[in-house]
Structure 1
């Protein structure tokens, strides 16, 4: 369903454009985006509500009305339905099964914040149902899934935003970093280091009773059927929380069956900015080499043989050969952030600072006027949802598009495969396949569990 079929919503979105995305959070823009009439606002739904799901929902109340929420945990669903009702006049409908959301003809777009192994199935089915899509990072569990999403975006013409918020919500530090590179302030880039943190191994996590409020089979979805595991006495989060150690929430990112550890968590942010700065958002590496790393359990043929502990890499140094003879290092050591090194200088950027002599030199030699806007491709939005809605209006892809996201995420996926197989991988960025390694190429895709295949 295109927004053009709803004149009142089209009027609202034209107001967004008139306000200008660079000032979309100003008081004047707030009046444009006010709550005078629910019919003037696009209608959203969120699928997956724990943690980041609620974060992106509450950031979007200013711009959209939420008609429905979906989650396989009844406690999480109920809590967030009430939270949403407090934020807007109408209580959203609640569903365990996301497919009931996709059946709704009144919903313009869905926001997906499920665990990673669900992203592709829901996103593809949402696009075929006529919805625009906002999906949390990392977008996919495999490289093949990224190709599929690209194909369906092109086929359906839907707008698709990936939740890599460093592109819009970082006080422009990262955009400034890219502008420094583009304007030659460190000369020829020679090396970029992405610090993305280490993680700790887990204790043995025993089989445990499934919480009454959780549909565990539905949570697993396309992933293999396994027992629920948890140490229930150690808990984190709101409302009594969830186990600190489990194979579900809170720690699903620490299992290859559902995510990719730090490589696809923080890596999806910092590798993205690095590729953007290097002008490598539509290409890829030629080689991925695991220099040193630690896997917390034993592996055979690239697969863990222990199933009661976290299985993603805990520590790592990975060398990536990027275009133009640039070396990228992805490391769990040192500061979280990105260090750019060139023939004429170096600087460091993260979410709290941008430091180094090229940054200090801006006081006497500022970047040209419009340099940040040139990087961004127009006026800079200070809110990811605002950028998404503007894209829905223009029917153009937003700043966090699926193509650039998938290209950088391929580096993260390849890094995990290289560690799992304990060898260097050579990559063909044109064919998007590993060169001369059938076993490694088998890790580019995965089988979906019967009953949870993608429906088109």
Structure 2
């Protein structure tokens, strides 16, 4: 049995080391319907937030809300410091005591209340909202129970591990009216992604014909031996609702700063915990792609996913036969068909990370670093309408940084009891495409979908993969 490195750097993510429901959700029949759906506010509310306006949210201590961070590693340490601009971080919860200790020192000056069990956090009346930054397989359970406990929530993507979890999340959100912001912060980066959507909404590409979504290749590992669970990590609770597994860990043979594991950081390369690249980067770029189809006034209801995928382990009936290597898809070339039969989306690992929109009148490419194409160049002489970006942003206040803007939008939604820019309903329509893509990869065949009933068509085995069993003792508490 291999013993993991005792270096704290192997266990603490780099940021810690550094310090009423919308009537129609992304289903418009015309470009005009799309603009009505996202909403248009008065001219006074269309101006993007400048920094002083954002600072105005720094309310007096008695007015500021109090929040807890559930899941201190990874995105938790990147996003919680932004949340502290808008609310007071008073509690940390994690199943790894190393995360708790260092998170408390670097995020809260050692003053936060520390918890191992998130249910203790949800029972507190003095905590108004939570940020959920656990591994993916915990998201839906904690989020549902948080909403039922009366908490608003900022939850990292992907929101769920399965399609059926998404149905339950949306049902509970409607029943409780809690505000949930999904951590797809690209929706708040209006300088690039929302500009791209505005270009499409103004008809400058014409009718969309083809979209190429590049999300890079999945993770690779050698065979990873069973290892001793690190001190302070409650491995059983880390696994939670997922299947029971032995802890695995190994250092890279050539790089002492690189490791392989089925735990922290690398959980996303295991179908037991995540959906691989398809729900990691797919949750960002497939999201923007589907919003683009809607912005063009075309029907973005998915009808099928087909294509090819490569795994590093053998599969039988959709299940990996080897348990000591990363098992999510490494490479893929997938085609998504929509109810608007004129447009097709290609999800690939071997093209530039980002989204290519091709229409009858032109094409643009957008990612976090650039927005390019002739329709973009044409903006110099033929700019977008003054309110074009604000329409994409549902007429809500905006600002130009993804994480600060996303948290600011979350707080705006809480104060006004409205859906945030990345609501659970439109998120799940997109994420279901990513989940269907994963089922297609695992079974090696086309998967057909009925959006009206939200069900797989004509394939009992694929339909069964819309849900998963929960380990005894870790069922969702309703």
> 1:197 aligns to what SS in structure 2?
coil
In the alignment, which residue of structure 2 is the partner of 1:10? none
In the alignment, which residue of structure 2 is the partner of 1:46? 69
Instruction: Label 1:129 to 1:327 Cα distance change in 2 as closer, same or farther (>3 A).
Output: same
> Any residues of structure 2 matched to 1:47-86 within 5 Å, and which?
47-86=70-109
8 Å Cα contact 1:346-1:358 kept in structure 2: yes
Which of residues 402, 412, 415 is equivalent to 1:393? 415
Q: Distance in 2 between matches of 1:259 and 1:20?
A: 39
Which of residues 252, 264, 267 is equivalent to 1:249? 264
Which of residues 150, 160, 163 is equivalent to 1:140? 160
In the alignment, which residue of structure 2 is the partner of 1:320? 336
8 Å Cα contact 1:84-1:91 kept in structure 2: no
Instruction: Label 1:437 to 1:70 Cα distance change in 2 as closer, same or farther (>3 A).
Output: same
Q: Distance in 2 between matches of 1:65 and 1:233?
A: 40
> Any residues of structure 2 matched to 1:187-266 within 5 Å, and which?
187-232=206-251, 244-266=259-281
Task: Answer yes or no: is 1:101 the counterpart of 2:124.
Answer: no
TM-score, length-scaled by structure 1: 0.90
Q: Could you tell me how far 1:284 is from its partner in structure 2?
A: 2.6
Q: Could you tell me how far 1:213 is from its partner in structure 2?
A: 1.6
Instruction: Kindly tell me the number of residue pairs found equivalent between the two proteins.
Output: 427
CA RMSD, Structure 1 to Structure 2 (Å)? 2.0
Instruction: Label 1:180 to 1:283 Cα distance change in 2 as closer, same or farther (>3 A).
Output: closer
In the alignment, which residue of structure 1 is the partner of 2:111? 91
Structure 2: give runs of 5+ residues left out of the alignment: 1-43, 400-404
In the alignment, which residue of structure 2 is the partner of 1:124? 144
Q: Could you tell me how far 1:320 is from its partner in structure 2?
A: 0.4
> 2:363 aligns to what SS in structure 1?
strand
Which of residues 335, 360, 380 is equivalent to 1:343? 360
Q: Could you tell me how far 1:234 is from its partner in structure 2?
A: 7.2
Task: Answer yes or no: is 1:115 the counterpart of 2:135.
Answer: yes
Task: Answer yes or no: is 1:301 the counterpart of 2:317.
Answer: yes
Q: Could you tell me how far 1:314 is from its partner in structure 2?
A: 0.4
Structure 1: give runs of 5+ residues left out of the alignment: 1-18
Instruction: Label 1:356 to 1:21 Cα distance change in 2 as closer, same or farther (>3 A).
Output: closer
Instruction: Label 1:202 to 1:233 Cα distance change in 2 as closer, same or farther (>3 A).
Output: closer
Task: Answer yes or no: is 1:151 the counterpart of 2:175.
Answer: no
Instruction: Label 1:352 to 1:409 Cα distance change in 2 as closer, same or farther (>3 A).
Output: same
> 1:367 aligns to what SS in structure 2?
coil
TM-score, length-scaled by structure 2: 0.86
> Any residues of structure 2 matched to 1:23-38 within 5 Å, and which?
24=49, 26-30=51-55, 32-34=56-58, 37-38=60-61
> 1:279 aligns to what SS in structure 2?
helix
In the alignment, which residue of structure 2 is the partner of 1:402? 424
Relative contact order higher in (CA < 8 Å, ≥ 6 apart): 2
Which consecutive aligned stretches of 4+ in structure 1 deviate over 4 angstroms post-superposition? 19-25, 232-236, 280-283
